[in-house]
Amino acid sequence: MAQATSQVTVDAPRSPYDRRKTTRGNFELYSWVFMRASGVVLLVLIFGHLWMNLMVGEGVHAIDFGFVAGKWASPLWQVWDLLMLWLAMIHGTNGVRTIINDYAQRDGTRMVLKGLLYLAFVVVVVLGTLVIFTFDPCPTDAPADLLASFCSAN
Amino acid sequence: MPTPAGTLYRGREGMWSWVAHRVTGVLIFFFLLVHVLDTALVRVSPEAYNAVIGTYQTPIMGLGEAGLVAAIVFHAFNGVRVVLVDFWAKGPKYQKTMLWVVVGLFVVTMAGFLPRHLMNVFGGGH
């Protein structure tokens, strides 16, 4: 008989079972964890935001340039809004990414939609971050009655 | 068509809460994009920001804000339910019960929010 050169490799006895046979990494696991962790933080941040802007005082009617200036005069609300911006944008972008992956069946459609999504993410996060850090509560060329009271304090 | 009780996920509370979570999530995301852009107007001028935020204070937009808050409140409470289903050992067993808890908390929260907000929108103001 001709000798059959078998290439079948047999695992050594008791070698651990490799559940994950792909090389795709753990991205989707981290994304799943992030959605839950950021969701809980966002619940607190957004409920606080809605309380301050819609429930206290005159609610939505009290919001104007001076109101924003008054809030961002405090580092607490700067950090609050910055954290809310970043977490909400990552959470929302990741959620819409999941939905695009679920419903857009053609590769091209999926790529275009996700390209637009990531573009919107970068534009909104960069713009929002710059606005929080470069905000001038008392622009010199603006009418004083539109500004927060602390602008004319001294 | 009769549905075998307790075996199908499709078409029952689990599926509809999942659908509602997606729909409210997408609504909130698109509002968020617009909301960052309108807030960015504080870097243009006080007049530009006040003009645009003034349109948020009309009755029609006031109703829109009520809908937005409703979407956020449902998404938030149902999100906590999703976390409990995933991490709490008895979560999957009580997922239906927890959905009705979510609905109850939603009703209570909106009952607290709506009168206050609608008074701000329709009563007096500017």
| Tally of domains within chain A | 1
Q: What percent of chain A has pLDDT over 70?
A: 92
Instruction: Confirm or reject contact between B111 and chain A (CB < 8 A).
Output: no
- CA dihedral (B10, B13, B18, B24) positive or negative: positive
pLDDT in the model for residue A35: 97
pTM of the model: 0.85
pLDDT in the model for residue A23: 67
pLDDT digits (tens, 9 = 90+) for A51-110: 998 888 788 888 889 899 999 999 999 999 999 999 999 999 999 999 999 999 999 999
Which band of pLDDT confidence, cut at 50, 70 and 90, is reported for residue A1?
very low
Q: How far apart are CA B46 and CA A12, in angstroms?
A: 73
Q: Write down the ipTM of this complex.
A: 0.88
Instruction: Confirm or reject contact between A128 and chain B (CB < 8 A).
Output: yes
DSSP per-residue codes, A117-139: HHHHHHHHHHHHHHHHHH--SS-
Q: Does residue A23 belong to any structural domain of this protein?
A: no
Q: Does residue A101 belong to any structural domain of this protein?
A: yes
Q: Does residue A152 belong to any structural domain of this protein?
A: no
Q: Does residue A145 belong to any structural domain of this protein?
A: no
Contacts for A113-116 with beta carbons within 8 Å, 24 or more apart? Answer: none
Higher pLDDT: A36 or A141? It is A36
Question: Which chain B residues are Cβ-neighbours of A124 within 8 angstroms?
Answer: 32-33, 36-37
Q: Does residue A10 belong to any structural domain of this protein?
A: no
Give chain A's radius of gyration (CA, Å): 26
Inspect the interface and report whether the beta carbons of A54 and B26 lie closer than 8 Å.
Answer: no
**CATH code of the domain in which A102 resides:** 1.20.1300.10
Q: Does residue A143 belong to any structural domain of this protein?
A: no
Among the ranges given (A105-114, A145-154, B27-36, B63-72), the one the predictor scored with the smallest mean pLDDT: A145-154
Q: Does residue A153 belong to any structural domain of this protein?
A: no
Shortest distance, CA A71 to any CA of chain B (angstroms): 13
Q: How far apart are CA A33 and CA A39, in angstroms?
A: 10
Which residue segment(s) compose the domain that A61 sits in? 29-137
Q: Does residue A64 belong to any structural domain of this protein?
A: yes
